[in-house]
Structure 1
Amino acid sequence: MQQPYAIILAGGRATRMGGGDKGLLPLGRSTLLEHVLDRIAPQVAATALNANGDPQRFARFGLPVLADPVGGYVGPLAGVLAGLDWAAKEGAETIVSVAADTPFFPCDLVARLVLAAEGMQAPLALAATPDGRHPTFGLWPVALRDDLRGALQGGLRKVVQWTDAHNAATAMFDDGGDPFFNVNTPEDLANAQAMQEAGQ
């Protein structure tokens, strides 16, 4: 399999943080998004950002900024589809999705997702911990992008409903801790600061 491309999902409205872009919130000396980019970039061939609105606010990161191809803030699957369409134009076969508000995800995320999907004709896998699946962290095949587009246009919104229909594999991360800790509230951001200072 070719090295996957990556899409950072930042298309949500961050209502529990009072709106705005969670990825631009400060964490240590940088931002949440910079921490995410530092983690994913070494694992993939190229990276893009899924975000709606004016792309110029992300100009300093030097990434392609891809809006949802389906209107109405329909959830993370729209961001995945944006990444698949971009990857298809670039000649890639797969993408890995990560969330812009989850700064401590594993540095071997991509390798373990790829391993979980080994042998699948259309490699599709979601990350999981013993607490359950983390559907914004997955490996997605470009070959299924038109199927996903049709599902979204037909009203499907739940990630696992679509991935289960395609017998997605699961990559289990049970090494301890909370590798997919994400920032939804000001309290979460304070906890992330403490984790970052502790060298998470």
Structure 2
Amino acid sequence: MAVSIAPQQITGLILAGGRGSRMGHVDKGLQAFRGKPLAAHALERLSPQVHCLAINANRHENDYAALGAEFHALVWPDLLSDFPGPLAGLHSGLTHCSTDYLAAVPCDSPLLPADLVARLAERMEQNNADAALAVTGHYGQQQRHPVFCLLKKTLLPLLTQFLQDDGRKMERWFAGIRTAEVHFDDETAFSNVNTLQELHALESTGKIEKLESE
């Protein structure tokens, strides 16, 4: 089946707006991994998959602007106060983006798949869904990765209302909309860094032995 969603219709968003509480409140996206900030790896991997890029950041906006300059990436902070979580980043992305679709990835997953967006778009089309997200694992031990997602721009009013009603949990948000799941075999590609120990482990071994669920 041919995919009708073209990269030119998609804005890519790096989610870097969190507090980094489990990493001692440092800005995760700016931590070094193999000689470059974590967010730089995400930008490099996502850039070929989308039409344009942006970074959702609430701290060190100038640093992120400099990091994204090579990719002409804009910095879009949350439009809601008090760091309400990744859904606020998606809300900012959907509000600002001028394309029909928004593809989001976290800043702390430097090994994300090169075919992530294409596969999410294909399954979204096949299932006539409004969103698609990545899944790994097998046989009752599957793990959903809602921060790796593709969303229709038309979801903005629903997400705005959800947040206004104090909704914060990504799983609850996705449960209320038509969402397609896309299975990926390589779990390492979705390794995300929550602590400095995990960052060092991923850098030295290429994997995180015990990954805390988000």
Structure 2 length as normaliser, TM-score? 0.85
Aligned counterpart, 2:77: 67
| 5+ residue gaps, structure 1 | none
Is 1:114–1:123's contact at 8 Å kept on the other side of the alignment? Answer: no
Aligned counterpart, 2:111: 104
Aligned counterpart, 1:83: 93
Is 1:28–1:196's contact at 8 Å kept on the other side of the alignment? Answer: no
Deviation at 1:116, TM superposition (A): 1.2
* CA distance, structure 1, for counterparts of residue 81 and residue 131 of structure 2: 25
Q: Deviations over 1:48-79 (max 9, x none)?
A: 00011342122322221111112121111110
Shifted more, 184-193 versus 93-102: the winner is 184-193
Aligned residue-pair number: 193
What amino acid maps onto 1:83 in structure 2?
G
Pairing 1:16–2:22 present? yes
Deviation at 1:119, TM superposition (A): 4.4
* CA distance, structure 2, for counterparts of residue 25 and residue 146 of structure 1: 34
Structure 1 length as normaliser, TM-score? 0.90
Change (3 A) 1:190 1:16: same
Q: Which runs of 4+ in 1 moved over 4 A?
A: 119-122
Give the secondary structure class of the aligned counterpart of 1:79. Answer: helix
Aligned counterpart, 2:120: 113
Change (3 A) 1:143 1:177: closer
- Percent same amino acid at aligned positions? 37
* CA distance, structure 2, for counterparts of residue 166 and residue 13 of structure 1: 27
Match of 1:37 among 43, 49, 56: 43
Aligned counterpart, 1:48: 54
CA RMSD of aligned residues (A): 1.7
* CA distance, structure 2, for counterparts of residue 55 and residue 186 of structure 1: 22
Aligned counterpart, 1:171: 182
Pairing 1:162–2:173 present? yes
Give the secondary structure class of the aligned counterpart of 1:71. Answer: coil
Deviation at 1:2, TM superposition (A): 3.8
Shifted more, 188-197 versus 49-58: the winner is 188-197
* CA distance, structure 2, for counterparts of residue 180 and residue 80 of structure 1: 18
| 5+ residue gaps, structure 2 | 208-214
